[in-house]
Structure 1
Amino acid sequence: MVLLSLFLLVSSTHPVFRRKLTKDEWFDYFTSEEEELFDDYWFNDTYHDTSVVLPRHVYVEINAFWYLKMITLAYFTIEIICKLIVFPLQWREFITFLNFIDILALVVMYTSLIVDQVNPKEVYKDSGHDIVYSLQVFRVFRLFRLVRHISGFRILLYTLRASVGDLLVMLLTLCTAVLLFSSLAYFSQDSAFAHIPDAAWWAVVTLTTVGYGDIYPTTVQGRLIASTCAITGVCLLALLIPVLVNNFLLFYSYYFGIERRQNAKKKVLMRKSSVAPK
């Protein structure tokens, strides 16, 4: 059901899973001043008023998606209610990150559904409804309900938790390098950098070896600074990332070492139970 919810969220934005508006939906789309003209346009085959132009970019998701969304909404609602029944007084066990995400996603879906029913025109316009709809991104976090059972993902979380100090050092070093090279790039009198924030964006992209190419120096001094910035970024990544990799490998070997010992104990116990006298 989690995968179905994510599929609906992603595919509902693709043109293949969207359709044109029906007559009633067109009336919801147009304002009251345009409805009379649109009514003539719809029913009169000889009507040739060029002032009425149907927008071509307005589409909605197919009807089947609405029913599937209702199914997923009912499923997650019943699941939360069952959890509340199981943990009526044990709030510390109930209030977890995953349960919080589920509740927040349900609130967003119910709010969006109510707004659609109360004021259908909000669906086709730029309004506060778009803010509520954008909060459905929290549904993506439901994926953690699946990956939490994968041992490699749990090891990665332990690694990040144990490497907070190293991550802070990496962030501080990166910020220092960004500030240094963005200032040098701006004061190099290169026309590509209108201000230091623009140069800071360029420095981040260059230090991380991404290189979008939207901003790049054109003068000799600017290119020298850019070359130094790129080399510095490679050196920083080469020095700091292995720390995280070593921590991950340490936790990985420790975890599977314990797992192997537990499996060995289980095999010994099974052998003893099989040869025990009856």
Structure 2
Amino acid sequence: MTSKFSAELFQLYCDTFPVKKVNRKSTCKPWIDKKILCLINECNRLFKKGFFQESQKLRNIVISEICKARKEHSAHMVNKLLYSNPKNFHKCIQDLMGKVSSKFLLLDSNGDPATADIINDYFASTCKAHPPLQNTLANSSVIEIPVIEIHQTRLKLENLDTNKSVYPGDIPTKLSVKCAPYLSVPLTAIFNQCFVDGVFPVCFKRAILSPTPKNKTPKVPSNLRPISKTSIFSKIFESFIYNFLFDDIQDKINPNQFGLRPNHSTTHY
């Protein structure tokens, strides 16, 4: 049911908002705006028609505008990074200067260059090391099955961060926020049914893994940390599960436990 709902929703999105292809030159720099592009096109048009003097004058103007735009772009990027993310300040300076950092060489167990399949098999092996959970208490009358209300799902949809990227096959986050009143009804029914059946939908388990180095020069796959990107609906369902579990065990946690607890740190001791 969940897979069918996600597939039909994505197909409806594709039919309503068809993909529009825009051809862009790979050499187009971020400081080249529409004004400069219009001047370049006009310069080329004059040159093709044989107005060489007018084309040369316009070409000098284009060069001057490009230099000015590049300086303004560099100053803006440096100032923005200096106040927003000082840690990457020097890296941004090197990128603006054209200095490329040396790439690390990741090796497998045999000392050969690792491929994407080797890294994927290593991450998958960590999941296969543990047996799957046995759902023996799903239909037990002792367990109080939590119930999600429609307004709770709608609130989580409306509070999604629209600046974050989405999982391939998901509808855009902005569209989920706009359609929250309509999506909250079927999603709430799916979430509650998952609680009753005691299952986590397979389509919610799919993720795109981005291997992130644990150190500066990783040499083996074990030096990589998998960062998972899951679907929007999966994140919402996980947040409900977290809230129910945390509310259930909150009074059983040792008061001296500070790690991985909200609003707790060693400074509160």
TM-score bucket of the superposed structures, by smaller chain: under 0.3
The structure that has the greater radius of gyration is 1
TM-score, normalization: structure 1?
Answer: 0.22
TM-score, normalization: structure 2?
Answer: 0.23
